[in-house]
Amino acid sequence: MTLPIVAVDRELRQKLCSIVTQKTGIQLPENKSAMIEGRLRKRIRAVGVPDIRTYLEMVFDGGHLANELPHIIDVLTTNKTDFFRESPHFDFMVKHILPAHRAGRAFRFWSAASSTGEEAYTTAMVMAEHAKRQPGFQFSILGTDISSTVVTKARQGVYSRDDIVDIPRPMQDEYLELGHSSDGRALARVIKPLRERVKFAQMNLTTAPYPVEKNMDVIFLRNVLIYFNDAMQKQVVSAVTDHLRPGGYLFVGHSESAAATDPRLVQKAAAVYRKEAD
Ligand SMILES: C[S@@+](CC[C@H](N)C(=O)[O-])C[C@H]1O[C@@H](n2cnc3c(N)ncnc32)[C@H](O)[C@@H]1O
């Protein structure tokens, strides 16, 4: 179905953008209006109203803001991710962090903008491999994201075969099971014993304190800070750093280094920081 093109009232659109920014920290400047309207069309189709203007009037004047906001956030977040994305980060963990971990307690990892789960499951595979070299090594992995749709998808751990190409072949063989969807698409699912090691929850990074345990060994906060303004980047980096143990590591996206300004952090490699003090 093609929706009619209806000029969206600038004021209504700005109202929507400022609510989304206030709730999520995500900046939605005027030059993104075509993207915003394009993405909202998905939701408009699902609701069954004829056009964007009617939809926004329903949201703001019809008292549907509370119901619709999670759906609006879902469509306006950018969830692009990959297995082994920015792979030097996983090499750094294997080479410098995991071997230094003392036995006796589980290694705690948090993927703080986990999207559909690839980052958390990549880490689970890397840690399962490490456990072969260091028997007794235990780990727990948490993934959180503001979008409930990606959290649901992450829990399922089902990916298209095109999505798994960056996983080394021996790991694919060991940690994925292959199958097909009912309409014949080739799929891969993370095996149950590995899925059980990874927990996912919906959580907004802009509303600290977080319901997440402290004393994390490693936190990945990658490719989410770019959507925030400078003040929000600073606030989120600081709140996330509170959840690292002294000596723990924060990883940001390779394009986000300028955001890691917390005075407790010392840079150790590209976009990798060690928390030196509590
Ligand atoms: C581009 S993905 C990055 C995924 C993964 N960390 C990576 O680097 O591949 C950004 C994710 O941040 C999430 N996000 C955006 N704003 C957020 C917020 N305020 N709190 C938590 N997650 C947020 C989005 O829903 C999206 O899934």
- CATH label of the domain that carries residue 215: 3.40.50.150
Domain count, the chain: 2
pLDDT in tens, 224-241: 999 999 999 999 999 999
- Judge whether 43 lies within some domain: yes
Apex CA 249: angle with CA 243 and CA 251, to 5°?
A: 100
**Model confidence band, residue 1 (pLDDT cutoffs 50, 70, 90):** low
Q: Is 28 in the pocket of ligand 1 (CB under 6 A)?
A: no
* Contact in structure between 244 and 216 (CB atoms under 8 Å): yes
Angle formed by the axes of helices 33-47 and 52-61, nearest 10° = 80
Closest-CA residue to 247 (of 268, 233, 223): 268
Print the domain residue range for 189.
Answer: 88-275
Q: Is 85 a known ligand-binding residue?
A: yes
Count of CB atoms situated within 10 Å of the CB of 230: 11
The DSSP call for residue 146 is S
Q: Is 145 in the pocket of ligand 1 (CB under 6 A)?
A: yes
Q: Is 241 in the pocket of ligand 1 (CB under 6 A)?
A: no
Q: How far apart are CA 153 and CA 199, in angstroms?
A: 12
Least confident range of 11-15, 76-80, 137-141, 242-246: 11-15
- Judge whether 2 lies within some domain: no
pLDDT in tens, 189-206: 999 999 999 999 999 999
Half-sphere exposure of 218 (CA within 13 A, CB side): 29
**Are residues 92 and 181 both part of a single domain?**
yes
Average pLDDT, the chain: 94
**Model confidence band, residue 2 (pLDDT cutoffs 50, 70, 90):** low
Q: How far is the CA of 222 from the centre of ligand 1 (A)?
A: 8
Mutation test residue for ligand 1: of 121, 221, 224, 251, the one with most atoms within 8 Å of CB: 224
Q: Is 245 a known ligand-binding residue?
A: no
107-146 as b/e, with b when 16 or more CB fall inside 10 Å? bbbbbbbbbbbbbbbbbbbbbbbbeeeeeebebbbbbbbb
